[in-house]
Structure 1
Amino acid sequence: MEDELHMIEKNDTWELVDRPTEKPVIEVKRVYKTKLNLDGSVQKNKARLVAKWYAQKLGLDYNETYAPVARLDTIRTLIALVAQKEWKLY
């Protein structure tokens, strides 16, 4: 977990901000997974910090969608669409 936190700090991928008073805060949890080689030996241990989506309340924040990270294939598709339509990309 310390390696994961070190990489987050090194890559400057987050920013501590004040809690908004008009929005609820969604709790998080740590998920640990062991990646194995084909022979069953441990390749590496992974740690992730994930949102507890099931903590959302119907009528309050249930219909809101969060996507903190875009998948690479999504970014490539958008860039291809921009090139095809000859749009400006900012």
Structure 2
Amino acid sequence: MSIQMKDVEHVAKLARLHLTDEEREMFTEQLNAILQYAEKLNELDTDQIAPTTHVLHLSNVMREDVVKESLPPEKVFLNAPDEEDGQFKVPAVLE
């Protein structure tokens, strides 16, 4: 697969970019170099490699949910700068 100048022009038009002739040529060459490098991956024998979604085995460490009593509202609002009708009062962010 290779990138043609018309492909670069199409993408530039979608991105609303004005490219000079030199830039079109440069980007066409650079994108083709990237594709050629990526094509090297097709040369690798991956038949014995299991498909993965991540190179490292990661899993979340979750604890069991334990039901316990919540703090009383009086204690919750002790450190609040302002409280009104049992809710935190904050400065308005919308007019």
**Larger relative contact order (C-alpha < 8 A, sep ≥ 6)?**
1
Larger radius of gyration: 2
Alignment TM class, shorter chain as reference: under 0.3
Greater strand fraction, Structure 1 or Structure 2: 1
Greater helix fraction, Structure 1 or Structure 2: 2
TM-score scaled by length of structure 1: 0.21
TM-score scaled by length of structure 2: 0.20
